[in-house]
């Protein structure tokens, strides 16, 4: 067979009218168009002909300014990373001169930058395509400036610089991850994916965590300080605790009755903590306290009941996926599918297919033995 070049998919690119512009204006517009394409679809989607069409110039004009596609992509990356780091340095510097800003203001500003600007998606695309966005000398120098600016905010002059580096790294991991996958992770954690409240509470929680750690005084030594002081891993010894007498989950009568009430309440979509507690002749606060004593929560118990019933409904085959979702008290099918994937690592429909394959294999095995 001869060499066959697959046709590239046809893309429809909005064409701008050509107009006179200075060299600096043309260069900036090319960069902005390339960056928009980069953020939307990744670095591999950047085509010089498409960029030329969007800006309203010729293909050779793009090459005149940047020489090659690779040079254009490199410039887009450097510009975006330098802009991000410049914004971060300004944010931290403002915090150092304004006591009312503090760690919460820093976390809020950085999170807003990553979520509302193009930076998080651009960073993610770079990493997925095998590029290190912080490899060049200028981004690394700016990263050191960010760490130094954060370190200057610490009230303890004896604080180790490596400890601040780790704090900045933790903040970066957390906020970049939230910007890219916050909705998905919060959804898997039991929250509605479109609800912004968990994200805000997470950022407030992260701010307090960062503040309490960075503002520790010299006398407040922890296991973390042993790590940054010696460079060695630290194993924290925890004294074993005797479990409370009623911590055996399956044998506890309260939890057994609780699960029975939850199961009976699910089809009516009324398995709230207040409703279930009333059925048990308890207040919601008392129920939650007693469950805490047993090292569990109402949400954990609700999850266990739903998981057990979901497996039964879809394995026995008496209900389809939509009927199972309603029987388990979910407000919509998407919420059920997210929960099911969290429990079993696959969708309800994939589960049904696997059960079908297993049953068929068992029938075939039985016939062969006969």
Model pLDDT for residues 316-354, shown as the tens digit of each residue: 777 888 888 888 888 788 888 888 888 888 888 888 877
335 and 207 belong to one structural domain:
no
Residue 174 counted as domain residue: yes
CA–CA separation, 43 and 39 (whole Å): 8
90 and 217 belong to one structural domain:
yes
CA–CA separation, 328 and 307 (whole Å): 9
CA–CA distance from 114 to each of 250, 297, 363 (Å)? Answer: 45, 34, 54
Quick one: which of 338, 335, 252 has its CA closest to 287?
252
Model pLDDT for residues 258-316, shown as the tens digit of each residue: 989 999 989 887 788 888 989 899 998 888 888 888 888 888 888 889 988 988 888 87
What average pLDDT does this structure show over 137-165?
82
- In the predicted model, what is the mean pLDDT of the chain? 75
DSSP 68: S
Residue 1 counted as domain residue: no
| Residue 249: pLDDT band with limits 50, 70, 90 | very low
162 and 199 belong to one structural domain:
yes
293 and 342 belong to one structural domain:
yes
Residue 235 counted as domain residue: no
- Domain ends where: 198, 230, 262? 230
211 and 271 belong to one structural domain:
no
Quick one: which of 16, 203, 11 has its CA closest to 115?
203
161 and 214 belong to one structural domain:
yes
Residue 58 counted as domain residue: yes
Joined together, the tokens standing for residue 310 give: 């979901």
135 and 224 belong to one structural domain:
yes
333 and 204 belong to one structural domain:
no
Residue 108 counted as domain residue: yes
Domain CATH for 280: 1.10.10.60
CA–CA separation, 51 and 13 (whole Å): 9
Residue 270 counted as domain residue: yes
| Residue 9: pLDDT band with limits 50, 70, 90 | very low
CA–CA distance from 142 to each of 134, 137, 176 (Å)? Answer: 9, 9, 18
Sign, CA dihedral 138-140-142-145, equals negative
144 and 172 belong to one structural domain:
yes
| Residue 4: pLDDT band with limits 50, 70, 90 | very low
160 and 299 belong to one structural domain:
no
165 and 279 belong to one structural domain:
no
Q: What's the domain count of the chain?
A: 3
Domain CATH for 39: 1.10.10
Residue 3 counted as domain residue: no
Whole domain around residue 94: which residue ranges? 80-230
59 and 87 belong to one structural domain:
no
Query: Which pLDDT score is estimated for 13?
Result: 47
| Residue 246: pLDDT band with limits 50, 70, 90 | very low
Evaluate if residue 355 carries a pLDDT over 80: no
What average pLDDT does this structure show over 148-175?
84
Residue 73 counted as domain residue: no
């Amino acid at each position: 067979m001869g060499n066959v070049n697959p046709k590239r998919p046809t893309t429809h690119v909005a064409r701008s009218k050509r107009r006179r512009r200075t060299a600096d204006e043309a260069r900036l517009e090319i960069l902005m168009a390339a960056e928009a394409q980069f953020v939307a679809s990744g670095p591999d989607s950047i085509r010089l002909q498409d960029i030329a069409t969007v800006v309203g110039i010729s293909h050779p004009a793009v090459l005149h300014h940047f020489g090659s596609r690779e040079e254009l992509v490199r410039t887009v990356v450097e510009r975006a990373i330098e802009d991000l780091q410049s914004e971060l340095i300004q944010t931290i510097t403002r915090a150092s001169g304004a006591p009312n800003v503090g760690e919460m203001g820093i976390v809020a500003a950085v999170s807003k930058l990553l979520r509302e600007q193009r930076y998080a998606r651009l960073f993610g695309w770079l990493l997925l395509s095998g590029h290190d966005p912080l490899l060049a000398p200028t981004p690394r120098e700016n990263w050191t400036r960010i760490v130094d600016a954060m370190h200057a905010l610490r009230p303890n002059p004896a604080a180790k610089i490596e400890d601040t580096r780790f704090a900045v790294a933790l903040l970066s991991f957390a906020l970049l991850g939230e910007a890219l996958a916050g909705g998905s992770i919060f959804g898997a954690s039991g929250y509605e994916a479109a609800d912004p409240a968990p994200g805000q509470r997470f950022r407030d929680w992260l701010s307090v965590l960062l503040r309490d750690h960075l503002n520790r005084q010299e006398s407040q030594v922890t296991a973390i300080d042993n790590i940054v002081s010696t460079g060695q891993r630290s194993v924290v010894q925890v004294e074993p605790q005797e479990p409370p007498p009623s911590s055996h989950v399956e044998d506890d009568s309260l939890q057994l009755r609780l699960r029975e009430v939850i199961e009976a309440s699910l089809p009516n979509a009324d398995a709230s903590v207040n409703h279930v507690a009333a059925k048990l002749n308890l207040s919601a606060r008392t129920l939650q306290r007693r469950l805490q004593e047993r090292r569990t929560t109402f949400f954990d118990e609700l999850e266990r009941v739903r998981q057990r019933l979901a497996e039964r409904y879809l394995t026995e085959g008496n209900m389809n996926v939509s009927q199972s979702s309603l029987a388990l008290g979910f407000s919509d099918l998407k919420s059920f599918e997210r929960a099911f994937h969290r429990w079993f690592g696959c969708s309800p429909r994939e589960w049904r297919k696997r059960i079908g394959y297993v049953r068929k294999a068992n029938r075939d095995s039985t016939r062969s033995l006969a």
